[in-house]
């Protein structure tokens, strides 16, 4: 049976740390007429990109990708759900519901937030001391207002082969100026035209 928790205790933090990926769901604001654009669900990999900052505060490193729906939606209304789903013999799903905000490089709290991520790159080295992972464009910080698990009985058991290093390779092959140009072209607005990284 599912349970609602008052905070992220050590058992839940350990569960989160064991998951090789998580999913992020957001949606733009809905108008009185029921319109509101596309709901978005994004899979996120790399274990070192998620951090528990407190009993009800989490954050993840937002890496450059083909779109910026999550950033746009969080800027629009803050609503966000993060889901961890166990694919091992432990049948469990954990959802963190809350309000998010977008922190960008140059923001006053960026150094403190970035220090929560070890910045491990494709070669396995760790930047440490807040050194950001190559291609990192933002940090999504979530104040969690509901923490709930469920059984996950219908989720298949799968074996992790390895993490893909393609995103690290791709961003590592671009200069800072090329990454900025890519973001300006592909991450400025959401598919519904909401401002993201513009």
Question: Contact 172/133 with Cβ under 8 angstroms?
Answer: no
- Within a domain: residue 196? no
- Among 102, 58, 66, 98, smallest CA distance to 81 is for 98
- Is pLDDT above 80 for 104? yes
Predicted TM-score (pTM) of the model is 0.90
- Within a domain: residue 43? yes
> Average pLDDT of 118-138?
60
What six digits make up the tokens of 90?
């432990």
What pLDDT, on the 0 to 100 scale, is given for residue 134? 83
Cα dihedral 102, 10, 14, 74, rounded to 10, equals -20
What six digits make up the tokens of 67?
């779109």
Question: Contact 166/59 with Cβ under 8 angstroms?
Answer: no
Band of the pLDDT at 131, cuts 50, 70, 90?
Answer: low
Q: How many CA atoms lie within 13 A of 198 on its CB side?
A: 12
- Within a domain: residue 193? no
Give the whole-angstrom CA distance, residue 113 versus residue 83.
21
pLDDT tens profile 136-161: 999 999 999 999 999 999 999 999 99
Question: Contact 145/98 with Cβ under 8 angstroms?
Answer: yes
Domain interval for residue 60 = 3-186
Phi-psi domain of 130 (left: phi exceeds 0; alpha: psi -120 through 50; beta: other)? left
Quote the number of domains for the chain: 1
- Within a domain: residue 125? yes
Band of the pLDDT at 129, cuts 50, 70, 90?
Answer: very low
Band of the pLDDT at 1, cuts 50, 70, 90?
Answer: low
- Within a domain: residue 129? yes
Give percent of the chain with pLDDT exceeding 70.
92
Query: What average pLDDT does the chain have?
Result: 90
- Among 151, 147, 117, smallest CA distance to 55 is for 147
- Within a domain: residue 172? yes
pLDDT tens profile 25-76: 999 997 777 678 899 999 998 888 999 999 999 999 999 999 999 999 999 9
- Within a domain: residue 192? no
Question: Contact 58/17 with Cβ under 8 angstroms?
Answer: no
3-state percent breakdown (helix, strand, coil) of the chain, nearest 5? 20, 30, 45
Map tokens 């092959």 to a residue: 173
Which CATH number covers residue 30? 2.30.110.10
- Within a domain: residue 194? no
What pLDDT, on the 0 to 100 scale, is given for residue 123? 39
Q: Is the dihedral of CA 141, 24, 38, 67 positive or negative?
A: positive
């Amino acid at each position: 049976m599912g349970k609602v928790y008052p905070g992220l205790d050590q058992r839940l933090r350990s569960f989160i740390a064991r998951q090789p990926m998580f999913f992020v769901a957001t949606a733009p604001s809905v108008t009185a007429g029921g319109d509101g654009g596309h709901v978005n669900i994004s899979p996120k990999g790399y274990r070192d990109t998620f951090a528990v900052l407190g009993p009800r505060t989490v954050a993840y490193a937002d890496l450059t990708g083909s779109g910026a729906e999550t950033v746009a939606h969080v800027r629009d209304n803050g609503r966000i759900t993060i889901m961890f789903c166990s694919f091992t013999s432990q049948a469990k799903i954990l959802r963190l519901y809350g309000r998010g905000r977008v922190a960008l490089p140059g923001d006053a709290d960026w150094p403190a937030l970035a220090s929560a991520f070890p910045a491990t790159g494709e070669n396995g080295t760790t930047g440490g001391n807040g050194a950001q992972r190559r291609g990192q464009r933002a940090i999504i910080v979530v104040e969690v207002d509901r923490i709930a698990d469920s059984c996950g009985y219908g989720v298949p058991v799968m074996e992790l082969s390895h993490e893909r290093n393609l995103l690290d390779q791709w961003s590592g092959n671009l200069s800072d100026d090329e990454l900025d140009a890519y973001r300006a072209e592909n991450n400025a607005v959401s598919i519904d035209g909401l401002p993201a990284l513009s």
